[in-house]
Structure 1
Amino acid sequence: MNSTPRHKPTVVIGLVGSQLDKGSAPARWERWRPTVGICQQPDLLIERLELLYQASDRGLAERVRDDVVQVSPQTRVVLREFPLGDPWDFEEVFGALHDFSRAYDFQEREEEYLLHITTGTHVAQICMFLLAESRHIPARLLQSSPKGQRGAMKGVGGWRVIDLDLSRYDRLASRFVREQGEATTLLKGGIATRNAAFNRLIDELELVARRSREPILLTGPTGAGKTQLARRIYDLKVRQHQLGGDYVVVNCATLRGDGAMSALFGHRRGAYTGAAEGRAGLLKSADQGLVFLDEIAELGLDEQAMLLRALETRRFLPLGADAEVESDFQLIAGTNADLVERVERGLFRADLLARINLWSFELPGLAERREDIEPNLDYELQRYAERQGERVRLNREARERFLGFALSEAAVWRANFRDLSAAVVRMATLASGGVVTEEVVEGELRRLSRQWQRAGGAGASPRSGGDSGGSGGLAELGLEALDDFDAVQLRHVIAVCRRSASLSEAGRTLFAVSRARRRSRNDADRLRKYLKKFELDWESIGGGCLVAPVRGGD
Structure 2
Amino acid sequence: MKPIVVVGFLGSTLDASKFGPSRWNKWRPTVSLAMHEDLRVDRLILIHGSGHSRLAEYVAQDVASVSPETAVELRVLDFKDPWDFEEVYGKLLDFARAEPFDPDAEDYLIHITTGTHVAQICLFLLTEARYLPGRLLQTQPVRGSLNPTGTWTAIDLDLSRYDSIATRFAVATEESTSFLKSGIETRSAAFNRMIDEIERVALRSKAPILLMGPTGGGKSQLARRIYELKRLKHQIAGTFVEVNCATLKGDGAMSALFGHRKGAFTGAVVDRPGLLRTADKGMLFLDEIGELGLDEQAMILRAIEDKRFLPVGADKEAASEFQLIAGTNRDLGEAVTTGAFRDDLYARLNLWTFQLPGLVDRREDIEPNLDYELDRFAEREGNRASFNKEARQRYLAFATGPGATWPGNFRDLAASVTRMATLSPKGRIDVECVDAEIQRLKRLWSSQRDDGAGVLREVLKPEALAEIDPFDRVQLAEAIRVCRKSRSLSEAGRTLFAASRARRTSANDADRLRKYLARFGLDWTAISHR
Fold similarity call, TM over 0.5? yes
* Partner in structure 1 of residue 170 of structure 2: 177
Superposition deviation, residue 161 in structure 1: 8.5
Partner of 2:379, secondary structure, is helix
Change (3 A) 1:435 1:457: farther
Cα deviation code 1:224-252 (max 9, x no counterpart): 10000000000111111111111100110
Alignment partner of 1:203 out of 189, 196, 203: 196
Q: Residue 245 of structure 2 corresponds to which residue in structure 1?
A: 252
Provide closer, same or farther for how the CA distance between residues 410 and 458 of structure 1 changes in structure 2, counting only shifts above 3 A: farther
Structure 2 residue matching 1:199: 3-state secondary structure: helix
Q: 2:305 maps to what in 1?
A: 312
* AA matched with 1:274: G
With over 3 angstroms needed to count, the CA separation of the structure-2 counterparts of 1:146 and 1:164, relative to structure 1, is closer
Q: Check the 8 A contact 1:453/1:459 in 2, yes or no.
A: no
C-alpha spacing 1:189/1:336, structure 2 compared with 1 (3 Å): same
- Report matched runs for 1:266-415 at 5 Å: 266-415=259-408
Amino acid in structure 1 at the alignment position of 2:365 = D
Alignment deviations for residues 335-390 of structure 1 (CA, whole Å, 9 cap, x no partner): 00111111112111011001011100000000110001011111101111111111
1:224 aligns with 2:185: no
- 8 A Cα contact 1:401 1:438, kept in partner: yes
1:164 partnered with 2:129: no
Equivalent positions of 1:466-505 (< 5 A) are none
RMSD, aligned α-carbons? 2.6
| Secondary structure at 2:211 match in 1 | strand
Alpha-carbon spacing, 1:213–1:404, altered in 2? closer, same or farther (3 Å):
same
The count of aligned residue pairs is 311
Compare the two structures and name the one with the higher helix fraction: 2
Per-residue deviation at 1:174? 2.3
CA distance in 2, matches of 1:276, 1:161: 55
Cα separation, 2, equivalents of 1:449 and 1:373: 17
Q: Percent identity?
A: 59
- Between the aligned partners of 2:348 and 2:180, the Cα distance in structure 1 is 24
Shift of 1:173: 2.5
Counterpart of 2:368, as a letter, is P
* Partner deviation per Cα, 1:421-442 (whole Å, 9 max, x = no partner): 0000000111001101101110
How far did 1:158 drift?
Answer: 10
Q: 1:193 — aligned with what?
A: 186
- Give the distance between the partners of 2:239 and 2:372, measured in 1 at CA: 27
**Matched position secondary structure for 2:171:** helix
User: What do the CA deviations read for 1:419-474 (whole angstroms, capped 9, x no partner)?
Assistant: 100000000111001101101110100010111111129999xxxxxxxxxxxxxx
Instruction: Please tell me the residue identity of whatever aligns with 1:318.
Output: P
- Match of 1:494? none
The one-letter code of the counterpart of 1:233 is I
Q: Which amino acid aligns with 1:288?
A: K
**Corresponding position of 2:476:** none
Letter in 2 for 1:261: M
Partners of 1:410 and 1:458 within 8 A in 2:
no
CA distance in structure 2 between the aligned counterparts of 1:252 and 1:432, rounded to whole angstroms = 41
Check the 8 A contact 1:220/1:364 in 2, yes or no: yes
User: Secondary structure of 2:425's match?
Assistant: coil
- Secondary structure of the equivalent of 1:361? strand
| AA in 2 matched with 1:304 | Q
Structure 2 residue matching 1:164: 3-state secondary structure: helix
CA distance in 2, matches of 1:459, 1:202: 36
Contact 1:412 1:457 (C-alpha < 8 Å) held by counterparts = no
The answer to whether structure 1 residue 446 and structure 2 residue 434 are counterparts is no
CA–CA distance in structure 2, aligned partners of residues 224 and 182 of structure 1: 22
Letter in 1 for 2:319: E
Q: Which amino acid aligns with 1:372?
A: D
TM-score by length of 2: 0.56
Q: Partners in 1 of 2:282 and 2:166 — Cα distance? A: 29
The amino acid across from 1:236 in the alignment is: L
Deviation digits for residues 128-151 of structure 1 (CA, Å, limit 9, x no counterpart): xxxxxxxxxxxxxxx9x998xxxx
- The separation in 2 between residues aligned to 1:279 and 1:260, in whole angstroms, is 13
Unaligned runs of 5+ in 2: 1-111, 130-156, 454-530
CA contact (8 A) 1:452 1:458 kept: no
Task: State the Cα distance separating 1:258 from its structure 2 match.
Answer: 2.0
The residue that corresponds to 2:513 in the other structure is none
**Alignment correspondent of 2:427:** 434
Distance across 1 between alignment mates of 2:169 and 2:451: 45
For residues 275 and 119 of structure 2, the distance between their equivalents in structure 1, rounded to whole angstroms, comes to: 42
Partner of 1:421: 414
Q: Distance in 2 between matches of 1:400 and 1:459?
A: 33
One-letter code aligned to 1:398: A
158 and 291 in structure 1: CA distance in 2 versus 1, 3 angstrom threshold: closer
- Seen in structure 2, the aligned counterparts of structure 1 residues 448 and 364 have a Cα distance that, compared at 3 Å, is same
Distance between the aligned counterparts of 1:405 and 1:158, measured in 2? 65
Matched, 1:265 2:226: no
Using a 3 Å threshold, how does the CA distance of structure 1 residues 158 and 418 change in structure 2: closer, same or farther? closer
Q: Does structure 2 retain, via aligned residues, the 8 Å contact 1:194–1:372?
A: yes
Provide TM-score, normalisation by structure 1.
0.53
Q: What is the rounded CA distance, in whole Å, between the counterparts of 1:158 and 1:180 in structure 2? A: 31
SS of corresponding position for 1:250 = strand
Which whole-Å CA distance do the structure 1 matches of 2:260 and 2:310 have between them? 9
SS at 2:403's partner residue? coil
CA-CA distance at 1:320 after TM superposition: 1.1
Q: Give the direction of change, closer, same or farther, for the CA distance of 1:355–1:437 in structure 2 (3 Å limit).
A: same
How far apart are residue 164 of structure 1 and its match? Answer: 2.4
Contact 1:186 1:236 in 2 (8 A): yes
Matched position secondary structure for 1:231 = helix
* Closer/same/farther in 2, CA of residues 320 and 311 from structure 1, 3 Å limit: same
Letter in 2 for 1:164: L
Query: What secondary structure, in the 3-state scheme, does the structure 1 residue paired with 2:426 have?
Result: coil
